[in-house]
Amino acid sequence: MRTTLLSCLVGFALLAFVSPASAAEFLHGETVTIAADDTWEGDLYILAQSVVVEGTVTGDLVVYAQRVKADGDIQGGLIVAGQEILVKGKVGRTSRLAGQAILIDEGATLKGDLVAAGYSLEVAEGATVDGDVVFAGFQAALGGKIEDDVWAAVSRAEVSGSIGRELSITTGLRNGKKMPPPATMWQQLRTIDLPLVDPGLTIRDGASIGGKLTYRSPNEADIEGGAKVTGPIEWMKPQSPTAPAASDNTNYFWDQIKRYITMLLMGILMIVCCPKTTGQTVDQIVQRPIISFLAGFLAVPLSVIGLGLAAALIVAVPMLFGWLTLDGLAGAGAAIAAFGMVLYVGSLLYFFVFGAATLTCITIGRIVFSDHPIASRSRLTLALAFGMVFYVVLTCVPYLSVGVFVAALLFGFGGMLMWLLRGMFSGGSSKNEPILKTDS
């Protein structure tokens, strides 16, 4: 049910930009009114402070406004985003609504589904929805006639009308009071009075559900004696958290051991492939810790910018070869750009997950073991193994793990940036640079 609800809400956002190929009109202003004797052919898009539609729209109606009143005949779909949304007329296809207060008023007829999100949804008595209702928000009051299913995720809900098929709903704890939204949260409502709904799920006398009732709530639903539920009733009560068992602690211990081994192996891979770069970057962090840390605030966003530049190569390189009009080079350029993009993204992800932590751990190990630069792979690996013990332990501490990870990220990226700048401005290796020992 959660997957279905999420898919519908995502679909609401995406489909807001999709409409059948037909003529379209665009209106804007402080107040836009479609009179009762007006007929608009094709789709109509409106951007305004206040919108009143009393006439006929043969296509879709798409509105972005603070207050919307749809009291006419909309033969297509209805897509609205606003503070107050009042529907009193007819809608020929699916309605997708997002707002603080949504009211499907008496006499309204929605031929398709109703997909909505917001603070409050009310389907008043005398209103009809011929399809499904999907809603996510704070409260829902369903007093009209809904032909098919209802899926909802709310804090509180009340059913006093009829649902033709299944009701599947998630509600909050039944320990509060009826309450309107805080007056300071939004601008004052003008056209809609919000209903006051009891906490949890309430099914009133006279209500009817033609299929199964499935609800997830900490409290049992209040189903009054005159309510009718045709199908089975399933109450899914959230389980209270339990203390971890001894086996859970054992599993946690082994998880940390596996995490340590994984990070150690990935760090050794970095040392084997780039020993000189690794050793000199650690030197920069040890010699200039504060500058390296501050440089991390610049290096991290620069790496992300570099990602965008690398992505641009996928377009720029083929275009460049295309300008040269050499046969086959456009395709080769695209392949080269894509390959370079994969290498850059892979390297960047590796450094985010493992590389920065590796440099930080080697730095810790070097501070403990020696004040001199470490040049051999074996000593870099020893420093890594020792420093990683501290890193893994610190990242297991609640509330401290995020800070340790961020600090390692800044030190790693900052140290790498300092090493690159040093190489650029010093013109290569320095006299005091340690000689790399390839053997252990």
Q: Show which of 176, 203, 236 is a domain's final residue.
A: 236
Whether 330 has a pLDDT exceeding 50, the answer reads: yes
pLDDT at 17: 40
Distances (CA, A) of 208 to 47, 217, 228: 39, 20, 5
The mean pLDDT value for 111-128 works out to 94
Task: Band the pLDDT of 301: cuts 50, 70, 90.
Answer: confident
Whether 103 has a pLDDT exceeding 60, the answer reads: yes
Of 111-120, 172-181, 247-256, 300-309, the least confident: 172-181
Please indicate, yes or no, whether residues 179 and 260 belong to a single structural domain of this protein: no
pLDDT at 317: 61
Please indicate, yes or no, whether residues 125 and 188 belong to a single structural domain of this protein: yes
Which residue range forms the structural domain that includes residue 221? 2-236
Q: Can you tell me which residue has the tokens 């296509």?
A: 59
CA distance 396 to 277: 29
Whether 37 has a pLDDT exceeding 60, the answer reads: yes
The mean pLDDT value for 57-82 works out to 94
Distances (CA, A) of 205 to 142, 152, 181, 229, 295: 13, 21, 26, 11, 67
Whether 399 has a pLDDT exceeding 90, the answer reads: no
Which residue from 19, 18, 109 is spatially nearest to 59, judged by alpha carbons? 19
Query: Phi and psi (nearest 5°) for 418?
Result: -65, -40
Please indicate, yes or no, whether residues 136 and 269 belong to a single structural domain of this protein: no
Please indicate, yes or no, whether residues 253 and 140 belong to a single structural domain of this protein: no
Asked if the structure places residue 440 within a domain, the reply is no
Q: Can you tell me which residue has the tokens 């006093």?
A: 160
Please indicate, yes or no, whether residues 317 and 230 belong to a single structural domain of this protein: no
Distances (CA, A) of 2 to 23, 36, 239, 341, 370: 37, 41, 17, 36, 56
Please indicate, yes or no, whether residues 168 and 41 belong to a single structural domain of this protein: yes
Please indicate, yes or no, whether residues 120 and 30 belong to a single structural domain of this protein: yes
Task: Band the pLDDT of 189: cuts 50, 70, 90.
Answer: confident
Helix, strand, or coil here: 90?
Answer: strand
Asked if the structure places residue 432 within a domain, the reply is no
Task: Name the average pLDDT for the chain.
Answer: 81
pLDDT at 248: 61
Asked if the structure places residue 435 within a domain, the reply is no
Question: 11-20, 212-221, 405-414: which has the highest mean pLDDT?
Answer: 212-221
Contacts of 189 by beta carbon, 8 Å cutoff, 6+ apart: 83, 84, 100, 101
Asked if the structure places residue 241 within a domain, the reply is no
Asked if the structure places residue 436 within a domain, the reply is no
Number of domains forming the structure of the chain: 2
pLDDT at 109: 96
CA distance 147 to 149: 7
Asked if the structure places residue 352 within a domain, the reply is yes
Of 74-83, 229-238, 317-326, the least confident: 317-326
The mean pLDDT value for 359-385 works out to 79
CA distance 56 to 42: 10
pLDDT at 376: 78
Cβ atoms within 10 Å of 411's Cβ, excluding its own: 24
Asked if the structure places residue 431 within a domain, the reply is no
How many Cα atoms occupy the beta-carbon half-sphere of 364 within 13 Å? 20
Q: Can you tell me which residue has the tokens 């492939």?
A: 273
Please indicate, yes or no, whether residues 215 and 343 belong to a single structural domain of this protein: no
Asked if the structure places residue 438 within a domain, the reply is no
Angle between helices 356-369 and 401-426 (to 10 degrees): 90
Please indicate, yes or no, whether residues 228 and 102 belong to a single structural domain of this protein: yes
Please indicate, yes or no, whether residues 38 and 141 belong to a single structural domain of this protein: yes
Of 99-103, 145-149, 162-166, 428-432, the least confident: 428-432
Q: Show which of 236, 258, 278 is a domain's final residue.
A: 236
pLDDT at 3: 43
Please indicate, yes or no, whether residues 121 and 189 belong to a single structural domain of this protein: yes
Question: 22-36, 135-149, 243-257, 395-409: which has the highest mean pLDDT?
Answer: 135-149
Query: Phi and psi (nearest 5°) for 259?
Result: -65, -40
Task: Band the pLDDT of 273: cuts 50, 70, 90.
Answer: confident
Which residue from 279, 291, 301, 234 is spatially nearest to 377, judged by alpha carbons? 279
The mean pLDDT value for 12-36 works out to 68
- Evaluate whether 105 touches 87 at the Cβ level (below 8 Å): yes
pLDDT at 13: 41
Q: Show which of 199, 214, 236 is a domain's final residue.
A: 236
Please indicate, yes or no, whether residues 198 and 257 belong to a single structural domain of this protein: no
Whether 327 has a pLDDT exceeding 80, the answer reads: no
